[in-house]
Structure 1
Amino acid sequence: MTNENKVIRVTYIMILSIALLVFISPFFIPLIFASTIALTLYPVQLKLESKGMKRNHVAALLTTLFTTFISIPFFYFIIKGTDAVTTQLEKMSFNEKLKDQGIDELVLNMHNEIVSAIQKFSSKYDILEFLNEKKINHYLEVVNNFLLDFFREVAASLPALVVLFIIMILCTYSFLGNAEHVKNFFQKITGFSEARMQELTNIFIRDSRQVYLSNIVTGGVQSLMVAAGVSMLQMGDFFVVLFVTLILSFIPIVGAAPVAFIFAILAFFKDSATAAIILGVLGILTSVVDNILRSWIATFGKSKIPPIVAFVCVIGGALLFGFPGLFIGLFVGAYAFDTLPIFWDELNAREGSGIC
């Protein structure tokens, strides 16, 4: 092949690739979710196909079950959770506008308890003497406004998320129904052998399982434990605590346990030793559940991404894409960390053999 032909082919590929990326860029989020969901369900699809079911029927069945029992309830949970958290944050906002309108007594008491707890703690250390009530209120307002803006942005994007949700479901069905065609397409693009492509596919399936099974199942159990404990001790709203704890459970290093410990500290400063002990024990149990349950689920396949890298990816994803970024950041980080070495080894092997 002449150099002129190579230039023409490379230019052709680049133009089409860039055009394709531009047109599908508004749908990156549902495409990523659909691909990971399809990969998570793919082993189940193979088992059902081995029993004689047609591929299209299996794809339709799995997509319907996933949509009915997981996607729709989870989407509804996100809508209600966002609304509940936004409402609570608006009540806790101590700007002049809300002051004039009056503040719910329960919220006001909660705010005063937080300020009193911080002042009580800071009074024990000279280095923290600058934390007077005015500055504490300022710092609380900064944190509150940041969280309020984040959840308001999520709430404002909900109509668009409905459209993206529908696209995600359609893409999931398409990916499952055309799994072999998709695999063959990427195999031609990458030039990998059948064995190497199978290895890459297994990594994608493994990482998808980790995100959906490990994080959602473990986070759900932890959130229920913390929310139930806080609610029974009458220290917070069950649904709000459940929603916030579930979100935090997706953030590596942070996790769900600190929520129980924070409420334990608040209980301690409120001179409620019994509640503080109960919540402290609950925090320890939550950590134990995290280590045991997450480790067991991880036996189905665990990404090699270090916790600190996963943490950065999750936070970066949230800053770029909002709430969906909590999932997408972990997806991309895990996939990149687990698959880039494969591409690098393949590239070195080809260079060593003289193949370009």
Structure 2
Amino acid sequence: MTSDKEKIFRVLAILVGILGSAYVLSPFLADILLAGVVAYALNPWIHKITKTRWCRHSLCLYGLTFGLFLIISIPFLGAISKIYGKLLAIDLTDDGKKAILTGWQEQRKHVIDTITHFFSQFGLRSTVNIDAMMTDATQKLLGAGFRLSTYIVTQIPDVLFSFVVFLVMLFLFMRHAGWMERTFRSAELLNSEETTNVITVLKETSYSSIFSSILTGMIQSTIVTTGAAIFLEVDLGLVFIVTFICSFIPVIGAAPIAFTLAIYGWIIEDTTAGIGLVIVGIVAGIADNIARVYMLKIAKDKLHPFWSLLAIIGGIMVLGLPGLFLGPVIVSATMQIAPMLLNSQSKR
């Protein structure tokens, strides 16, 4: 029989090991947690595919990992390639610089004239210094753009390394998912029913955070990008990526991207584009509400949209970009597991 001292020593040894490992791996903690959430969300699909017997388990894991690599990397590599191509296409000769300056001055004059006409309709032309306002806004935008571009360039090595860590850990989590679940059950930290309920909650919240958000974002991005392709000549890849990212934000969603494009349409005096993109924004907002509610019903997510918004914002502030998914998973799982365990304890 195991003595109390041995039990205490085992618990302390495990705690020291866990805390030490967490401290050493803390720079990659968000990437590892995100990989675990994605692996848990993919687990039902892996079982379905392997049960068909046309794909071995190891081959399925390699295929899913490589497919996810392509899905994530191709859009960003395409965007980088476009930006690099445009930079190479810039004419840095004297004539080219003069042409760029002339074009910029013409665009600036056009924007000033448009804003002046707008204020004149309300009798505010004499009270607003449009030229000074435009100069100040331009300086701020250029400064912010320079700082943002510098930050993005300096973060590229870290992002690439985090991406590699995420893919490797995703593969390992998917490969050892069964062993991890058996280990958790054999530890007998909870009774059999509670253990099953906790595992079910984690699976549902992981699925909800990953798949429902991605599918909803794809729908909204497709609607806004299609509208942009019909009414304006813009970089559709950039519109799709920005809309996809904004679609994860509850309440706000992707509609503001369409409205921003509509404002741009009015600035360039394309009324048809402005009206059309307003309609696209309304359709995207309606699609967001319908698709999100439908996905939440399928995923059985019980997290209120307000808590989801706070979880996303807090997750990003604490964990960076992975917090976009990890925040809702952590908060939603806690709000479901804590009452369940407390009610179970009170019945004993």
What's the TM-score, normalizing by structure 1?
Answer: 0.76
Deviations 1:226-264 (A, max 9, x none): 223223323532222222111111222221111112222
Cα distance in 2 between the residues matched to 1:308 and 1:144: 34
Deviations 1:331-355 (A, max 9, x none): 23333233344235425643774xx
Residue 201 of structure 2 contacts residue 336 of structure 2 at CA under 8 Å; is this kept in 1?
no
Q: Quick check: 1:197 aligned with 2:195?
A: yes
Q: What residue in structure 2 maps to residue 246 of structure 1? A: 244
Q: What residue in structure 1 maps to residue 92 of structure 2? A: none
Q: 1:121: how far off?
A: 5.5
Structure 2: gaps (5+ residues): 87-96
Q: 2:132 aligns with which of 128, 131, 134?
A: 134
Matched letter for residue 336 of structure 1: V
Deviations 1:246-292 (A, max 9, x none): 11112222211111122223333544322222111111221232233
Distance 1:247 1:122, change over 3 A: farther
Residue 63 of structure 1 contacts residue 172 of structure 1 at CA under 8 Å; is this kept in 2?
no
Matched letter for residue 338 of structure 1: A
Q: What residue in structure 2 maps to residue 167 of structure 1? A: 165
Secondary structure of the structure 1 residue equivalent to 2:250: coil
Residue 112 of structure 2 contacts residue 134 of structure 2 at CA under 8 Å; is this kept in 1?
yes
Q: What residue in structure 2 maps to residue 342 of structure 1? A: 337
Secondary structure of the structure 2 residue equivalent to 1:251: coil
Greater C-alpha radius of gyration? 2
Q: Quick check: 1:45 aligned with 2:43?
A: no
Cα distance in 2 between the residues matched to 1:115 and 1:192: 67
Residue 268 of structure 1 contacts residue 276 of structure 1 at CA under 8 Å; is this kept in 2?
yes
Q: 1:34: how far off?
A: 1.6
Q: 1:201: how far off?
A: 2.0
Distance 1:31 1:151, change over 3 A: farther
Deviations 1:113-149 (A, max 9, x none): 66666666666497xx667543455456546655664
Residue 265 of structure 2 contacts residue 274 of structure 2 at CA under 8 Å; is this kept in 1?
yes
For 1:79-228, list aligned pairs within 5 A: 79-81=77-79, 124=122, 132-135=130-133, 137-139=135-137, 142=140, 145-146=143-144, 149-150=147-148, 152-187=150-185, 191-228=189-226
Q: How many residues align?
A: 336
Matched letter for residue 195 of structure 1: E
Structure 1: gaps (5+ residues): 89-99
Q: What residue in structure 1 maps to residue 91 of structure 2? A: none
Residue 85 of structure 1 contacts residue 151 of structure 1 at CA under 8 Å; is this kept in 2?
no
Deviations 1:85-104 (A, max 9, x none): 8999xxxxxxxxxxx99856
Distance 1:81 1:172, change over 3 A: same
Q: 1:198: how far off?
A: 2.1
- Cα RMSD (Å) of the superposition? 3.9
Secondary structure of the structure 2 residue equivalent to 1:236: coil
Deviations 1:204-234 (A, max 9, x none): 2222222322222221232232223223323
Residue 119 of structure 1 contacts residue 131 of structure 1 at CA under 8 Å; is this kept in 2?
no
Residue 245 of structure 1 contacts residue 256 of structure 1 at CA under 8 Å; is this kept in 2?
yes
What's the TM-score, normalizing by structure 2?
Answer: 0.77
Residue 32 of structure 1 contacts residue 328 of structure 1 at CA under 8 Å; is this kept in 2?
no
Residue 317 of structure 1 contacts residue 328 of structure 1 at CA under 8 Å; is this kept in 2?
yes
Matched letter for residue 25 of structure 2: I
Cα distance in 1 between the residues matched to 2:98 and 2:228: 29
Secondary structure of the structure 1 residue equivalent to 2:167: helix
